[in-house]
Structure 1
Amino acid sequence: MRMKEDAMKNGQLKPAYNIQCGTDSEFITWATVGPQPTDTTTLIPFLQDMEEHIHRLYLNVVADAGYESEENYLYLETNGQRSFIKPNNYEKCKTRKWQKDIGRKENMAYLADEDVYLCAQGRKLTATNEFIRKSRTGFQSRVTRYSCEDCSSCPLKIHENHCKTPLEERTKHFEVSKRFLRQRQEDLERISSKEGIQLRVNRSIQAEGAFAMMKADMTFRRFLSRGTGNVLVETMLLAIAYNMQKLHCKIQSGRFDQHLFPVDNVA
């Protein structure tokens, strides 16, 4: 997989393991080791493995944008858990370029009673097709395709339709999963709440802080063994050492009963 450290700056591939750690009250509660190059497909196996071994189901699951997917949303929803996952377009949608791009469906008006989108020119994009899309994990998502009835002589076509097709032949269309849009909107409302902000801030401090401490303070940069099983043993030993250090630190600072950092106290 591609590493964050790339001395040659050529995107070279290196043998590596994807380490997943879950934290609670600043302690590492579980960890897994896998070959996945991205985090998206690691969430469900991680939660299942953790529930199987420690027999605990967490109500709130907080993760960064790399874990957002319809499959993950649906799993948490079905499992009675609340997702606090930052949408992968959360930062981009704040930019002026994103907000002024009239070709994006997010910037179009949606008429729910008619199930149509309205472009900047006021023309309707209606649902023309519905099909099942299957992911690499086998998850099936129902996707709806919306197309404009008539894009001819549209003065905004060059701004709405970004593709390599000749301008006169372009017709605006896009595909969406209605379930995913609903899930993302509900999740966005949760992470924007006071509770969601505190949980997201603490995820950054606790989860990212655990990796930072192991890499920087404990100077652990490379596994000494090979093979998923052996690497998992190393990871668990490292997590135990980290938890012992964290326990000592919390007792010394009088924070043993503190589970979350208050947002007001975070710089």
Structure 2
Amino acid sequence: MDQLDYSLLYKAYSRKGRKSVVSPKMLFKIIVYGYMNNLYTSRGLERACRRDINFMWLLQGAKVPDHNTIARFRSKRILAAAEGLFYQLVELLKECGEISFENLFVDGTKIEANANKYSFVWRKSTEKNAAKLQDKLAETLQIICEKYHFAITESVDPSEVLSLLLIQQYQQNISFVYGTGKRKSQLQRDVEQLEELLARQRKYDDYGQIFQGRNSFSKTDHDATFMHMKEDHMKNAQLKPGYNVQIGVEAEYIVGIDISSERSDALTLKPLLQTMKNFLKGQKHENIIADAGYESEENYSYLDEEKQVCYIKPSNYEKSKAAKYRNNIRLLENMEYDEAKDEYTCRNGKKVCPVSVTQRKSKSGYRSVITVYECENCNGCPHKVSCTKAEGNRKFSVAKKFKWQREQSQRNITSAKGILLRINRSIQVEGAFGILKENHRFRRFLLRGKQSVRTEFLFLAMGYNLNKLHNKIQQQRCGKMLHEKKTA
């Protein structure tokens, strides 16, 4: 920890005012050591500084920081510097020969957010209620304008109508009354009804800004998305607010982190690799190993552009081993394909030729080229019932680039090197999550907001890496990058 550069951290403190009781560098060490020993709360860290001899040694005789100081440091002071300090540690591991930027094992898990699980807001429900509100608002404005003889235009501004009503109150010298036993005038009732509708409209507009392409969020943590968790104590597949935590592991060390609000892993690989590239000054891993959840044309194309070898397991890899899959005449993989003529041949011997080309846009904005094929004649085909449910000729869409990329990735993972890397992915990255969740008992974040959650997990990853380095030194396994395949 003494070899890290803390200059960015010290910039978070002003030179004016009283001097801090404990230096930022020492506070950083205390929190990292706390995460190494499953101490996460600020009060628990304060208590350990008073009672634990190891924390006392870290303080070097300095005054014990109270829990407010620790909490403020973790949630505010360290935010801008935490990620840089983590990647400095990764570079130190590289200098020590513990990592070589060769094989990066990627995986993700969902960890529950510090948010009320009943504070959900759903996008479809919000859009439905917002549409009903617009109809109600238009009807109310029509009635008010006719009642008070306001000029009606095609686009009536509710705020202007409200201002006109308040002018009416001033001109007629009408006092608004509140409380029980008071009778409200019709003007006051119209003003309050319009104010209520406008308040609801502002609320739905704010919700629309918070969604940012998601289908849900929590009122107590706007960055948290409702997801299915593996740890479902109620056993009813209840959705709970959480974050999709992505890590990249090499030689059993966590060398990359990203926190995402997306439920799907397919949209998280590219941000993780870009973050690592930015903080590691352009250093990139040669091989990227991930499971089927990361398979997409966008991810394949990004790895091709970065000249990184892809070892992503195709989503149909396990199914393709079954006889039922190989005998399914509907699947393109079981049709003969003539690359020169760009046409398929179905089980009945009919040609399936391209008829049009279109584009498909993903959630992230990536556009893939789709070729639509149609069979020349399906009338009287004895296999039609098994092949298609369409009344006319069978049609299907093919993303040629994605099809070629999937075949290339399958060749990679079935090679001798690919098999060894897939074995290590299960051991290293899934093993890291197992240690964090079971040994460190880290199953719920303490802080709220994506930036604070990212900082909290960075502390956890630094503690994990230091523990891992210590264990490898004790077991004399330093410099070992991969676990060899064991055979009976």
SS in 2 for 1:195: helix
Partner residue of 1:221? Answer: 443
Structure-2 separation of matches of 1:92 and 1:258: 34
Q: Does 1:4 align with 2:227?
A: no
Cα shift readout 1:200-242 (whole Å, capped 9, x = no counterpart)? 1111111100000100111111111111111111101111111
The 1-side partners of 2:374 and 2:237 are apart by 37
Q: Partner residue of 2:272?
A: 46
| Structure 1 CA distance for aligned equivalents of residues 446 and 359 of structure 2 | 45
Show the counterpart of 2:131: none
Matches of 1:8 and 1:105, distance apart in 2: 42
Shift, 1:180, TM fit: 0.7
**1:154 partner letter:** C
Q: How does 1:181-220 map to 2 (within 5 A)?
A: 181-220=403-442
Higher gyration radius (CA): 2
**How far apart are residue 9 of structure 1 and its match?**
4.5
Match of 2:260 in 1: 34
CA distance in 2, matches of 1:186, 1:78: 15
Using structure 2 for the length normalisation, give the TM-score: 0.52
Q: Could you tell me how far apart the structure 1 residues matched to 2:371 and 2:232 are?
A: 40
Cα offset, 1:243, TM superposition? 1.0
Q: Which residue of 1 aligns with 2:486?
A: 264
Cα deviation code 1:40-63 (max 9, x no counterpart): 000111100011012221111111
How far apart are the structure 1 equivalents of 2:472 and 2:334?
A: 47
Structure 2 partner of 1:146? 373
Amino acid at match of 1:62: I
Shift of 1:122: 1.0
1:128 to 355, 362, 365: 355
Distance 2:264 2:363 in 1: 13
Q: CA deviation at 1:255?
A: 1.1
Question: 2: CA distance between counterparts of 1:80 and 1:103?
Answer: 35
The residue number in structure 1 matching 2:469 is: 247
* 1:104 counterpart = 2:331: yes
Q: Which moved more, 1:134-143 or 1:241-250?
A: 241-250
Distance in structure 1 (CA, Å) of the matches to 2:439 and 2:231:
18
SS in structure 1 of the partner of residue 353 of structure 2: strand
Equivalent residue, structure 1, for 2:308: 81
AA paired with 2:346? Answer: C
Instruction: Report the counterpart of residue 124 of structure 2 in structure 1.
Output: none
> In 2, Cα distance between the equivalents of 1:89 and 1:32?
27
Q: Distance in 2 between matches of 1:115 and 1:7?
A: 52
Give unpaired runs (5+ residues) of structure 2.
1-226
CA distance, structure 2, for counterparts of residue 152 and residue 34 of structure 1 = 50
Deviation at 1:68, TM superposition (A): 0.5
Structure in which a larger fraction of residues adopt helix? 2
Write the distance in 1 (CA, Å) between the matches of 2:475 and 2:246. 28
CA distance in 2, matches of 1:227, 1:239: 18
- In the TM superposition, 1:145-184 aligns within 5 A as 145-161=372-388, 163=389, 165=390, 169-184=391-406
Matching residue's letter, 1:225: L
Shift of 1:5: 2.8
Give, in whole Å, the separation in 1 of the partners of 2:299 and 2:375.
31
Deviation by residue 1:178-203 (Cα, 9 ceiling, x = unmatched): 11111111111111111111111111
2:460 alignment counterpart: 238
Q: CA deviation at 1:94?
A: 1.2
CA shift at 1:92, angstroms?
Answer: 1.2
TM-superposed CA distance for 1:264, in Å, is 2.8
What one-letter code is carried by the residue in structure 2 that aligns with 1:25? Answer: A
SS at match of 1:263: coil
Residues in 1 aligned to 2:405 and 2:387: alpha-carbon distance in whole angstroms:
26
Q: Partners in 1 of 2:324 and 2:235 — Cα distance?
A: 28
Aligned equivalents of 2:274 and 2:387: distance in 1? 43
Match of 2:343 in 1: 116
Give the Cα–Cα distance (whole angstroms) in 2 for the partners of residues 238 and 173 of structure 1. 51
Q: Which residue of 1 aligns with 2:11?
A: none
Distance 2:352 2:230 in 1: 41
One-letter code of the match for 2:397? E
Whole-angstrom distance in 2 between the partners of 1:188 and 1:18: 26
2:239 equivalent among 2, 7, 13: 13
> How many positions carry a matched residue from both structures?
261
Q: CA deviation at 1:79?
A: 1.0
